[in-house]
Amino acid sequence: MKTNQIIIMLLLLVSQSACTQTNKKMKYNQLTPEEQAVILHKATERPFVGEYTDNKATGVYVCKQCDAPLYRSEDKFESHCGWPSFDDEIKGAVKRIPDADGQRTEIVCANCGGHLGHVFIGEQYTAKNTRYCVNSISMKFIPAKNTNMETAYFASGCFWGTEYHFMKAKGVKETTVGYMGGHTQHPTYKEVCTGETGHAETTEVVFDTTQTSYEDMVKLYFETHDFTQVGGQGPDIGDQYRSVIFYTSEAQKQVAEKYIDILTNKGYKVATILEKAPEFWPAEDYHQEYYDKKHGSPYCHIYRKIF
């Protein structure tokens, strides 16, 4: 009888352990409706609009849903098809499935099953003769660590215009628009536009300190928006368009304070707020590099030299 009880207890322990492991695997990242459409329901994002289509930075691409590594930047190539293309995967990272159309081969994340795109063989783009055609929205890019890189966060009205000037500045290696300073997690553009989440439209700027400086970034920030306007920027009125510098270190805070003092001494009534950088939430893909995609220019972010 005791033997049977021991066996039953062992089976229960194994079962509980298996359930725990399953629950761990089920803890995926929260997805936006746009991400769900592609990753869960196998939709396809429009060509030439994805965040990573033209990305040439060094690093690793991971699954948006579960963070599993998928592709290395050295295997990425330009296919001019409108979506990121790779000629190899990280071993075992991608699973191939016959597509429902009976002609193509779908690719999904081997870890979570999230839809990535399709794989094509025999096109002769590279020596490996393989093209993994992947939706940008299905991935996140993790840049390689570089001790010369520094990150800054600036809010100055509509983030389309803020990003427009920073992405063209000397020494800037990457820009991402998103949301900071609010009280909800994973905010969407629609939610932020209500003014009820507390977030400000913000641009994340990654720059090479061997080519430029945080001081240069701060000067460009003040020279490309009306830092005296309260509660908006130009015709864009609302708390989400407020002027804020989110500093990541005491050194950044001191530089920002220095230039606010300079502007105050010049007679400006500076409305810009300084806040310690909280978590940054990247915006939806269609907001990234907006003016470059639309071949336009900002309507309320005009450069004027001050310093």
Residues classed as catalytic: 133, 158
Dist. CA 248–CA 153, nearest whole Å: 8
Dist. CA 68–CA 91, nearest whole Å: 12
Place of tokens 């948006």: 64
**35, 134 contact by CB (below 8 A):** no
* Residue 137, C-beta contacts closer than 8 angstroms, at least 6 positions apart: 34, 35, 38, 39, 45, 50, 51, 64, 285
Residue type for position 155: A
Q: 95-107: string of b/e by CB count within 10 Å (b at 16+)? A: eeeeeeeeeeebb
Could you tell me if residue 45 is left (phi over 0), alpha (psi between -120 and 50 degrees) or otherwise beta? beta
Nearest to 89 by CA among 60, 64, 114: 60
Instruction: Give the dihedral sign, CA 93/69/134/43.
Output: positive
β partners of residue 277 = none
